[in-house]
C-alpha cells in the first residue's frame, strides 16, 4: 500500500506545495496551525481540486492535472473522520456504522461489521444512540463507520483534538490496532508531539505549506526537522521490547537498539513491543561512566553530531548500540567536555517520573513515552 502526493495549490495568499511518498501504516501530517495540514487532507479527500499535481493511492489515480484526471470525492472511497464524530443523532450505533456501506459497490466491500466492532471495542454499544456515548466512544464509532465504507484511504483529521486526556488514552490503543491490522493507508493530522511519537510510521512535517521533512518517525523526530516548525523539543524515538520485570525493585527491564533500559514497572507481558520517546532535555552527557549516581540508565556511545540550537544550547547526538540518543545541553558543557564527532561518551537518562497507568499503551515520564509498537 503506497500513497504518492505531489500537489501545488494557492488559497488566497497561502500556497500549498507538498510532495512526499508514504508506505503502509500511519502517515502523520505534523505541524503548527496554518501549516497546510487540513488543506492537504481536503485535497486527498476530493473536497478541493488542486491547481497542479497528482495524488495516487495504491495505484489508483485520484488526481493528475496533466492528464486531466480528477476522481470526485464520492468515487474515491475515502474514509474521513473529523475532530468531532458527526454521528447521526437519530440513528443507533449499528445504523450509523452501516450507513457508509451503501456507498460502496457490494463487490468492493471488505469491511465486516463484526470485525470492525471487535477491532474498535464497540460491540456492546450497537443499540445505543450517540447521545448516550462518551467522546471517545463517539470517535470510535465514527472511525468504524469510515472503515465500513471499505476505504482505499483513511483520513483522520485531528480526531483526538476535542477529547480530554482520559478519552485520548482510551482511544489511542484502537488507532494503533488500525495501523497494525487493517492494511489500508492512514493519514493522521496532528500537532501533538506525543501523538506523533506514539502512532506514526511516517512523519510529514509541514511548515508554511511546504514539506520541511519526511521520513520514518525516529528520523524526523530526532529534532533537526522540528526547529523550523517552532518545536524546540528534540529527542529520540526507540523501538524496544519488555525483557523482564524486577518485582522487588518495582521496575521493568527493556531491551532496545540503544541498550538495556529500566523503567517503572509496566503491566505488560515479556516480549511485548513498546515505543519509547526520550526527550533530549532529559538526557545528560558524561565522558566516563558515572559512579554513585541515581540514574538507572547509563548508555555508552560515541558522539556523531553536535548541533547549535541557540547561543546557549546545543543538541548532541550519540550513537549508542544500534541506535541514537539526543541530549540537549549547554554549549558551555560542549566546550568544557570537548564534545565533537568521534568522542566516546555516555548518555545518562536522568528523569524518573511516572505518569499514567502501567498498561499497554501507557504514557511514561521516566524521560520516555512508552507505547505499544506493532
Residue 33 sits in a domain of what CATH number? 3.40.50.300
> Is residue 12 located within the same domain as residue 84?
yes
| Residues contacting 370, CB < 8 A, separation 6+ | 263, 266, 274, 275, 276, 362, 363, 364
pLDDT of residue 353: 32
pLDDT at 66: 95
Do 183 and 142 belong to one domain?
A: yes
Model pLDDT, residue 229: 62
pLDDT of 223: 61
Task: Let me know whether 308 and 193 are in one domain.
Answer: no
- Given this model, what pLDDT does residue 70 score? 96
Are residues 17 and 49 in contact, defined by beta-carbon separation less than 8 angstroms?
no
Residues 267 and 212 grouped into a single domain = no
pLDDT at 172: 86
Q: What is the C-alpha to C-alpha distance for residues 110 and 188, in angstroms, rounded to an integer? A: 22
What is the pLDDT, as a whole number, of residue 224?
Answer: 52
Say if residue 153 is in the same domain as residue 14: yes
C-alpha–C-alpha distance, residues 80 and 151, integer Å: 9
CATH for 298: 2.40.50.100
Query: What CA dihedral angle connects 217, 219, 222 and 225, to 10 degrees?
Result: -90
Domain span at residue 273?
Answer: 235-372
Place of cell 506545495: 17
CA distance 121 to 57: 28
Question: What distance in Å separates the CA atoms of residue 155 and residue 266, rounded to the nearest whole number?
Answer: 32
224 and 249 in a single domain? The answer is: no
CA distances from 301 to 217, 222, 298, 345, 371 (A): 22, 17, 10, 6, 25
Residues 105 and 47 in one domain: yes
* Number of domains making up the chain: 2
CB atoms within 10 A of CB 311: 6
217 and 319 part of one domain? no
Instruction: Tell me: do 273 and 198 sit in the same domain.
Output: no
Does 196 lie in the same domain as 112? Answer: yes
Whose cell is 517520573? That residue is 353
Domain termination residue (choose one: 204, 229, 254): 229
Q: In terms of domains, do 198 and 326 share one?
A: no
Q: What is the pLDDT of residue 50?
A: 95
Are residues 347 and 354 in contact, defined by beta-carbon separation less than 8 angstroms?
no
- In the structure grid, which three cell numbers stand for residue 7, read together? 500537489
Confirm if 63 and 7 have CB atoms less than 8 A apart: yes
Residue 108 sits in the same domain as residue 8: yes
Domain edge (last residue) among 172, 204, 229: 229
Residue stretches of the chain with pLDDT short of 50: 351-374
Rounded to two decimals, what is the model's pTM? 0.78
Examine the fold and report which residue of 229, 252, 273 is the final residue of a domain before the chain moves on. Answer: 229
How far is 367 from 353, CA to CA, in rounded Å? Answer: 7
Amino acid at each position: 500500500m503506497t500513497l504518492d502526493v505531489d500537489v501545488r495549490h494557492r488559497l488566497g495568499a497561502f500556497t500549498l506545495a507538498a510532495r512526499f511518498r508514504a508506505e503502509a501504516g500511519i502517515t502523520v501530517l505534523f505541524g503548527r496551525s496554518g501549516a497546510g495540514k487540513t488543506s492537504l487532507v481536503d485535497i486527498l479527500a476530493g473536497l478541493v481540486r488542486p491547481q497542479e499535481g497528482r495524488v495516487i493511492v495504491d495505484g489508483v489515480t485520484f488526481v493528475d492535472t496533466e492528464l486531466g484526471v480528477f476522481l470526485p470525492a464520492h468515487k474515491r472511497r475515502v474514509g474521513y473522520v473529523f475532530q468531532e464524530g458527526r454521528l447521526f443523532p437519530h440513528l443507533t450505533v449499528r445504523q450509523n456504522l452501516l450507513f457508509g456501506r451503501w456507498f460502496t459497490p457490494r463487490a468492493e466491500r471488505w469491511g465486516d461489521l463484526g470485525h470492525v466492532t471487535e477491532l474498535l471495542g464497540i460491540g456492546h454499544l450497537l443499540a445505543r444512540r450517540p447521545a448516550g456515548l462518551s467522546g471517545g466512544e463517539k470517535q470510535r464509532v465514527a472511525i468504524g463507520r469510515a472503515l465500513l465504507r471499505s476505504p482505499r484511504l483513511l483520513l483522520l483529521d485531528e480526531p483526538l483534538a476535542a477529547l480530554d486526556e482520559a478519552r485520548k488514552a482510551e482511544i489511542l490503543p484502537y488507532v494503533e490496532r488500525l495501523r497494525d491490522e487493517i492494511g489500508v493507508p492512514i493519514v493522521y493530522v496532528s500537532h501533538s508531539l506525543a501523538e506523533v511519537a506514539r502512532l506514526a510510521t511516517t512523519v510529514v512535517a509541514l511548515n508554511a505549506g511546504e514539506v520541511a521533512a519526511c521520513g520514518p518517525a525516529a528520523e524526523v523526530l530526532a529534532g533537526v526537522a522540528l526547529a523550523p516548525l517552532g518545536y524546540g523539543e528534540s529527542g529520540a524515538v526507540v523501538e524496544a521490547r519488555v525483557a523482564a520485570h524486577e518485582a522487588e525493585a518495582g521496575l521493568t527491564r527493556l531491551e532496545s537498539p540503544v541498550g538495556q533500559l529500566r523503567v517503572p514497572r509496566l503491566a505488560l507481558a515479556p516480549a511485548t513491543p513498546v515505543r519509547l520517546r526520550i526527550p533530549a532535555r532529559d538526557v545528560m552527557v558524561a565522558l566516563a561512566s558515572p559512579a554513585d549516581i541515581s540514574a538507572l540508565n547509563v548508555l555508552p556511545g560515541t558522539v556523531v553530531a553536535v548541533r547549535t540550537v541557540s547561543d546557549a544550547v546545543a543538541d548532541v547526538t550519540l550513537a549508542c548500540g544500534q541506535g541514537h540518543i539526543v541530549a540537549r545541553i549547554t554549549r558551555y558543557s560542549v566546550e568544557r567536555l570537548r564534545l565533537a564527532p568521534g568522542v566516546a561518551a555516555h548518555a545518562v537518562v536522568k528523569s524518573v517520573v511516572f505518569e499514567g497507568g502501567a498498561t499497554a499503551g501507557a504514557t511514561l515520564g521516566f524521560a520516555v513515552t512508552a507505547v505499544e509498537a506493532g
